[in-house]
Structure 1
Amino acid sequence: MEVNFRKIDIDAYDEDVLLETELYDADPRAPSQVIEETKAKAVAVRSSLNKGDITGALVTILDNPPYGPGVDEAKNLTLQTLVTVLNSTKSSDIPNVVKSLPLESQDILMKYLYKGMAMPGWGDVSGSVLLGWHEKLTEVAGTGSIVRAMTDRRLV
C-alpha cells in the first residue's frame, strides 16, 4: 500500500486543533438583524453628516460593528458609510474628531482603516485619505491601537 504522505491531513489526527469559531464569541445577533441595523446606521450617519456632525457620524457607525460569518453585506455597507465620513472630513478637523472618540471606537476605526488599505481601487477608498487618518489616529491613540487592531480576531 503506497500512501503519499504529503497529502495526509495531519490536523485530522491532532486533538488540539484550534478552530476559528473558538477564537472569539460569535455575534449574538442574527445576520438579518445585523443588516437592518447597519442600514439604519447608514441613514443616521448621512443625517449627521448633513448637520455637519462628523464626530456623531463616526460614533454611530463605529458602535457595535458587524463581525463574524454571514454578514458580509453589512460589513461592506459599514465600510462604504465609514469611507463617506472619512472623505467628507477636512484634514485639519481629523485630530479633534479622533480625540473625541472613545478608545474602543479608535481601535475599531483602526481596523476599518486597515481593511480599506487592503482593498485598493475599491469604491471611494483613497489611499491618501486613509493614510492621513491613520497618521492622526496613531498620534492620538498610539501604537497600542495598531496592536489591538491587528490581534483582535473579530474581523470587520
Structure 2
Amino acid sequence: MSDVNFRKIDIDIYDEDVLVETELYDADPRDPAQVLNDTKQKATAVRSALSKGDTVGALTLVLEDPPYGPGVDEAKNLNLQTLVSILNSTKSAEVSSVLKSLSPDAQDTLMKYLYKGMAMPGWGDVSGSVLLGWHEKLTEIAGTGCIVRVMTDRRTV
C-alpha cells in the first residue's frame, strides 16, 4: 500500500495568493472578555428599555456595535438571545414603525441576526413565524439590497 499521508499536507502554506480569513476584515479591537462584559451590560440596558416600553431604543442598543470576529462566541450568543427577546415582545402591528426608525446599518445588522436565528437548529428560542415576519417587513422597508449586503459581509454576528 502506498503512503496516504499526502492527504494531510496543507498545500495552502506554499501558495502566496491563499485567502486568509484574518485578511478579509479587521477583527474586533476589543479584548474578548471586554466584548462579553459590554454585551452583558447591553443586555441589562435592553431589559430596562423593554420594561419601559421603548422597543426602538432597545433594538437600537442591541444592534449597535455587535460582537464579531473570532473568540467572542459567548458574546455573540448572548446578543442573539437579547435580540430574540425584543423580537418576541414586539407586537406585529408595531414592527413596521420600529424598522423604519432604524438606521440602514442597524437594518443590515438586524438582517444578519435574523439569518443567524434561522440557521440555528430548531430555530432556537424563537418561533419561525416571528423571524420570518420580521424578515418580510424588513425586506419591504430596506429592500433586497439589505439581503445582498448581509450575504456579502464577512463580519458575522
Which TM bucket (shorter chain)? over 0.9
Residue 37 of structure 1 is matched in structure 2 by: 38
Give the letter for the 1:69 counterpart: P
Which residues of 2 match residues 4-153 of structure 1 at below 5 A? Answer: 7=7, 8-153=9-154
Could you give the per-residue CA deviations for residues 57-91 of structure 1, whole angstroms, max 9, x where no partner exists? Answer: 00000010000111111000000000000000011
Displacement of 1:15: 1.0
Displacement of 1:14: 1.2
Q: In the aligned structure 1, how far is the partner of 2:32 from the partner of 2:18?
A: 27
Q: Secondary structure at the match of 1:82?
A: helix
Distance change >3 Å, CA 44–CA 19, structure 1 → 2: same
Tell me the TM-score normalized by structure 1: 0.94
Distance change >3 Å, CA 15–CA 5, structure 1 → 2: farther
Could you give the per-residue CA deviations for residues 33-74 of structure 1, whole angstroms, max 9, x where no partner exists? Answer: 101110000000001110111000000000100001111110
Could you give the per-residue CA deviations for residues 4-28 of structure 1, whole angstroms, max 9, x where no partner exists? Answer: 6962533232111110000000111
Q: Which has the larger displacement, 96-105 or 116-125?
A: 116-125
Displacement of 1:125: 1.8
Q: In the aligned structure 2, how far is the partner of 1:13 from the partner of 1:129?
A: 48
On the 8 A contact 2:99/2:107 being kept in 1, the answer is yes
Q: In the aligned structure 2, how far is the partner of 1:98 from the partner of 1:43?
A: 22
Is there any run of 5+ residues in structure 2 with no aligned partner, and where? none
Give the letter for the 1:21 counterpart: T
Q: In the aligned structure 1, how far is the partner of 2:123 from the partner of 2:104?
A: 28
Work out the percentage of aligned pairs sharing the same amino acid.
73
On the 8 A contact 2:117/2:124 being kept in 1, the answer is no
Could you give the per-residue CA deviations for residues 81-118 of structure 1, whole angstroms, max 9, x where no partner exists? Answer: 00000000011110000000000000000000000000
Is there any run of 5+ residues in structure 1 with no aligned partner, and where? none
Q: In the aligned structure 2, how far is the partner of 1:24 from the partner of 1:132?
A: 31
Count matched residues.
155
CA RMSD between the two structures: 1.5
